[in-house]
Amino acid sequence: MNCSNKYKILIVEDDTNIRSFIATMLEAAGYQALLADSCSSGLLMFSSYNPDLTILDLGLPDRDGLELLSEVRQKSASPIIILSARSDELDKVYALDHGANDYITKPFGSAELMARVRSALRNSLPRAEEGVLSGKFELDDLLIDYDARRFFMRGEEIKLTQTEYNIIALLSEHLGKVMTYSSIIKAVWGANDIGGTKKLQVNMANIRRKLGIKPGDNKYIVNELGVGYRMQSAE
């Protein structure tokens, strides 16, 4: 493979073992790994190499990784996966609401990391103008006709309410990305909606039932507990 065709992935992580573990894995999978061990070196590497994806640790020796996230987001939409030892849901929610595409909690498995990397790169491919969804969306057995606002599973139409459709369309637009509860509520009902979380849970339960997804089964729609929902391939 020509080196210039490889995806460049920046790893910002101060733990030497984790950093080289990730780098080895990425290189074995054909990616080019760029390494930084602090927030400031990460920012420098980002401006010098303009990576296709960044894997970002939050607990860094000089500054909080969230600061790198907000600085990068001011000038770039390049995907960022948060890698954090923090299991605190608020950190994840904060990062996702401030432009992170995904997060992985330490300790993590190599298969999980690689799946998240592939998903983030796939979903960062150029897409149509945001705002107006048009055309068709297909994911395994699911098909959404954005123009007609109709939803199909294995060719059969599934009748959704306007709200249920809006939730599904929103998740499909951000395929692979965790959408926090508050970001979904804001998009579907508006910013100041009271009781939005409960309404979201009720609608999501109805959507799963209509799709024939059993409670607790993560097919198509994954509930990242305490954080939000992600649409992904049933695989």
What sections of the chain are H helices per DSSP?
A: 16-28, 39-49, 65-73, 89-97, 110-123, 162-173, 181-189, 196-211
Residue span 3-22 as binding mask against Ca ion, x where in contact by CB under 5 A, dash where not: -----------x--------
Query: Could you tell me the smallest distance in angstroms from the CB atom of residue 7 to Ca ion?
Result: 24
Question: Which of 46-54, 55-63, 98-106, 201-209 is the region at the interface with Ca ion (rule: CB under 5 A)?
Answer: 55-63
Closest residue to Ca ion in the complex (CB): 59
Could you say which residues in the range 62-121 bind Ca ion, by CB under 5 A? Answer: none
Stretch of 28-36, 53-61, 75-83, 206-214 lying at the interface with Ca ion (CB under 5 A): 53-61
Sequence letter at residue 14? D
Binding part of the chain for Ca ion, among 48-56, 58-66, 170-178, 184-192 by CB under 5 A, reads 58-66
From 19, 51, 54, 57, residue interacting with Ca ion (rule: CB under 5 A): 57
In angstroms, give the least distance from the CB of 85 to Ca ion. Answer: 7
Q: How far apart are CA 40 and CA 110, in angstroms?
A: 27
Calpha distance 60→25 (Å, rounded)? 22
CB of 59 or CB of 99, closer to Ca ion: 59
Distance from C-alpha of 223 to C-alpha of 200, rounded to nearest angstrom:
12
**Rounded distance, CA 113 to CA 31, Å?**
13
